[in-house]
Structure 1
Amino acid sequence: MDYAAARERARTAELQLNLTEPVSLQSTHRHLEKMRGRPIEIQAMDGPEDQVCGLWFGLDDADLILHARAASEVHRQQIVLHEFAHMILRHEQEELAPEVARNFFPDLDPGRVIKALKRTDFMDEFEVTAELLADRLAARIRRSQRRAAGQPGNFGSVFG
């Protein structure tokens, strides 16, 4: 795994997004919906949080991100940003079998669930790059929040 190349891909992807300041999770969400030309729904999921943090499903008419119930809003944001990063990086989803769709969406017509991003190795190039991009986006959000609060850009790192 070439971490320097993964960091560069994440940096380039962030720059190419052309996000408008101030950046927030909500503004990033809206930007991606415009970019993708379809709504992105974000929902907490019930289930074993120790096994799955986040999932991205492609429905016939929208994208759906399911996230584990997080201990904090910062953790929830990181999970969602990681799934956004997969979209931004154009990581390919795979066809999803109807029986798998039924497990996640018992009340939804399985035919509506078309694709899902499947992961088996959390240290592969795609996962590492997505997490690096999510970290970059989270840092942008934090900088925007500090500026909005009137805090000088480097105040926190100097004074703690």
Structure 2
Amino acid sequence: MDYVAAQERARTAELSLNLTEPVTLMSTHRHLEKLRGNAILIEPMAGPTDKVCGLWFGLDDVDLILHAPAASDVHRQQIILHEFAHMILRHEQEEISPEVARNFFPDLEPGRVVKALKRSDFMDEFEVAAELLADRLAARIRRSQELTAGQPGGFGAIFG
């Protein structure tokens, strides 16, 4: 794995987003929905989460991010940003079997296409690039919070 190349892919991807200040998790979420032309739903994960922090599923008309219960809002944000990063970096999803789909979506109509990003190695270049991009996005959010915190009445912190 080429770490320097992964850093460059993350930097280039962040710049290509053209995010406008102030950057928040919500503004990034809405921006990605516009770029993808799909709603992105973010939900807490039910069931055992000892092996997984976040999952990105592509259904026929919506992207769904499931996240494990997080120790803090910052940790939850990082999990979501990591899944956003896979979308931004255009990491390919693969079709999953109906049995796997039923584990997460017991009420899913059989005709819907479900795809998921499958990972077997957390140190491969896809995972590293996604985490580097998530870190860059988190840094943008922190800088925006610092810049807007000084506004009269703290409106930046309230309205994001």
Q: Same fold (TM over 0.5)?
A: yes
Corresponding residue number in structure 2 for 1:116: 116
Kindly tell me: are residues 110 and 81 of structure 1, through their superposed partners in 2, closer, same or farther at Cα, counting changes over 3 Å? farther
Corresponding residue number in structure 1 for 2:3: 3
Deviation at 1:52, TM superposition (A): 0.7
Deviation at 1:50, TM superposition (A): 1.7
Q: Does structure 1 residue 77 correspond to structure 2 residue 80? A: no
Q: What is the letter of the counterpart of residue 72 of structure 2?
A: S
Corresponding residue number in structure 1 for 2:47: 47
Corresponding residue number in structure 1 for 2:150: 150
Deviation at 1:112, TM superposition (A): 2.2
Deviation at 1:110, TM superposition (A): 4.0
Q: Secondary structure at the match of 2:19?
A: coil
Corresponding residue number in structure 2 for 1:141: 141
Corresponding residue number in structure 1 for 2:62: 62
Instruction: Report the aligned-residue RMSD.
Output: 1.1
Corresponding residue number in structure 2 for 1:126: 126
Q: Which consecutive residues of structure 1, in runs of 5 or more, have no partner in the other structure?
A: 152-160
TM-score w.r.t. the length of structure 1 is 0.92
Q: What is the letter of the counterpart of residue 96 of structure 1?
A: I
Corresponding residue number in structure 1 for 2:96: 96
Q: What is the letter of the counterpart of residue 4 of structure 1?
A: V
Q: Secondary structure at the match of 1:41?
A: strand
Corresponding residue number in structure 2 for 1:154: none
Paired residues, number: 151
Q: Secondary structure at the match of 2:114?
A: strand
* Equivalent-residue separation in structure 2 for 1:125 and 1:111 (angstroms): 33
Q: What is the letter of the counterpart of residue 79 of structure 2?
A: I
* Equivalent-residue separation in structure 2 for 1:36 and 1:80 (angstroms): 16
Q: Does structure 1 residue 12 correspond to structure 2 residue 7? A: no
Q: Secondary structure at the match of 1:143?
A: helix
What per-residue deviation string (whole Å, max 9, x for no partner) do you get for residues 16-41 of structure 1?
Answer: 00000000000000000000001000
Q: What is the letter of the counterpart of residue 39 of structure 1?
A: A
TM-score w.r.t. the length of structure 2 is 0.92
* Equivalent-residue separation in structure 2 for 1:118 and 1:86 (angstroms): 11
Q: What is the letter of the counterpart of residue 127 of structure 2?
A: E
Deviation at 1:70, TM superposition (A): 0.5
Q: Which consecutive residues of structure 2, in runs of 5 or more, have no partner in the other structure?
A: 152-160
Corresponding residue number in structure 1 for 2:105: 105
Identity %, equivalent residues: 82
